[in-house]
Amino acid sequence: MSSPLKLISTDFDGTLHGEYERPAIPERFTSLIAEQQLRGVKWVINTGRDMSSLMEALAREHVPVLPDYLVLVEREIYKHDGVRYAPVEEWNAACNRDHAELYARVRPQVAELMDWVNGRFRATVYEDVWSPFCLIAGTNADADQIHARLDEFCKPFPELAVVRNDVYARFSHVNYNKGTALRELSRMLSVTSDEVLAAGDHLNDLPMLKTEHARCLVAPSNAISLVKDVVRRQGGYVSELTCGNGVAEGLEHYLGRLR
C-alpha cells in the first residue's frame, strides 16, 4: 500500500534526538521511517548541525536507518548516493556564493556588535566558517535581549537574518533556511506540500513549519510554546510525548494509524 506522504523532514536535536532520553532516538520512530522508506518515502534530517557533528551523533546512537537527504547548518543540501552524502552542487554553490557576498558587506561592523555583547553579558561570541557572528548566551533571558539587538543590526542589510535555537544564534542569508531548503528538495523530488511532513521544536524550525512547505506539521511536547502555537494555528499535530516519540506519534496520526 502506498503512503500519503512522499517526504518527511525532521529537525534533529530536541525533535528527533532527545539528549536525556534512552534511547535518544526511539525505535518507534526508526521503525516507522524504515517502513515508509520501503514505500518510496524520502526522509531528510533538517538540522543546524554540520556534517561531522550529525554523523557522529547518528553513529553513537546506532541508528538502523539512514536519511535519504540532509539539510545541514539550516541551508546546505546533501543526498545519499548509496555510499556517502554528496552535495547538491547547484544549490550549495549558490548558497555559498550568496553568503560570501553578504558577509563581506556585514563583517566590517561585526566587531562593534561583538564588543556590545561582551560589554553587557556573560556570553561567548565568535566567528566560524558559517557566520561572521555566532553567539552562545549564558541564559535564554540574555539571548532574548541579544536577539533583539541582532534584529536591529540586520535592518540595514535586508538579506541578513538571525538564526536562533535556545541560547545559540548566528547570522544567515534570508534566502537560505530550513524552509527554503525543504522547498528546494520538494522541487527536486517533484513533491507537493500536501505530500510533505515537517517536525520541529525551536525557533530555527519555524521557516519549515509552514503549510506552504508541508501540509502535515508536527511538534513534540518539549517544543517551545511559540512553535506549538504556530503548529496548532495551521491545523498541525502537537504531541503529548517528547522528542522522537512525539514525532512518531505525529507521523502515525497523519498515516491514519495512531495507537
One domain, residues 65 and 110: no
What's residue 20's pLDDT?
86
The answer to the question of residue 235 being in a domain is yes
Cell numbers found for residue 81: 548516493
The answer to the question of residue 87 being in a domain is no
Alpha-carbon distance of 166 to 198, in angstroms, equals: 20
Q: In this structure, are residues 202 and 14 in contact, taking their beta carbons and an 8 Å threshold?
A: yes
What's residue 112's pLDDT?
97
Q: Considering the entire predicted model, what is its pTM?
A: 0.95
Domain that holds residue 111: 92-173
The answer to the question of residue 81 being in a domain is no
The answer to the question of residue 111 being in a domain is yes
Mean pLDDT of the chain: 96
Domain boundary among 146, 173, 200: 173
Alpha-carbon distance of 126 to 152, in angstroms, equals: 19
- What sign results for the dihedral spanned by CA atoms 38, 87, 182, 231? positive
One domain, residues 141 and 169: yes
The answer to the question of residue 37 being in a domain is yes
One domain, residues 165 and 186: no
One domain, residues 183 and 113: no
Q: What is the pLDDT of residues 82-135, one digit of tens each?
A: 999 999 999 999 999 999 999 999 999 999 999 999 999 999 999 999 999 999
Backbone angles phi, psi at 40, to 5 degrees: 95, 0
What's residue 259's pLDDT?
41
Q: What is the pLDDT of residues 7-52, one digit of tens each?
A: 999 999 999 999 888 999 999 999 999 999 999 999 999 999 999 9
Number of structural domains in the chain:
2
